Structure 1
Amino acid sequence: MDAISEVVGLALKQTGNSTVSNGGDRSTMGLREKRLIHRLHAEVLPKYEAALRQETGGGAIEWQVNWDSFSNCDEEALERLERFGLRKISEAIESICIDDFGRKAVRDGLKMIYIQQVDDSSQVAVAMDEDTLKVFLNCADFYHGYVSEFKIQEVLENGL
């Protein structure tokens, strides 16, 4: 199995789902979506992990994306994951890490960031669960599908 198939398989293995929403029609996940999932998993997430490790002064924060939950997303929605998900989370953490107190709090109290796609924007949320930041997004909803970096920062600060 090649690397692309392995990464895309992560998103589809449990559900067996190989479809994406495409303007209301259901179709087989296309090459663009497969490439984008591979790029997000293999290139983008490691960059965010490295940047946060540097920002926190050595804290190892694991990013865990529930790829199964994104299996019905089209290319446009998948592209929003980085802009409105990963970037907002990183900005919130960077805002906390402005001094040694913040860096230590994040380094000691945040071990994992869990991201999941939800189909209903009323389920969009952010929460701290012990040492895990959980973020639920609806990348298909451009207007209501995201949590602001300020809300993420507030939840983190209250949970650390």
Structure 2
Amino acid sequence: MVEVQVTETIDCPADRVLEFVMDPRAYAAVDRKIGAIDWVRRAGDVTEFRFGSKLPGIPGPAVKVVSRMTRTSDERVDVRLPPIPANRLANLVSEFSASWVCVASGERTAVTRTVRCGFKGPAKWFAEPVLRRTLRPDVEDEMRQAKAALESSGETR
């Protein structure tokens, strides 16, 4: 299992951060792991979307997966892959979870982004060592870009 956790302080309210996260088309602009999006469905605090997933450093084409993001509070969004049949390949090959946790202080928000990836079978011996080198810099870049996008959007306050 590979786990990466990165914290970035962003000059905007937590609610704005979490709404940005819950919009996969907007968030894809800052997250290279999100490829072409086929569809998005949002119902209240749950967003599901199908996209081409590409993990940093792992060769090959993007793998189509469905992601389910759930806003569990005013401070948190959790991400899981729904079970088979929506994610037949992803569920057979890997385990995945992610989250954004916000701690607000006035108009500033400390955002902690966590990504966990675990692989089963032979893929584990190849993919996990690669992700141990490539996932942290990728998530750090994602958070820098999210900060820049939110702080320059004019909608931060």
Same fold (TM over 0.5): no
Q: Which structure's residues are more often helix, by fraction?
A: 1
Q: TM-score, normalised by structure 1?
A: 0.30
More strand as a share of residues: 2
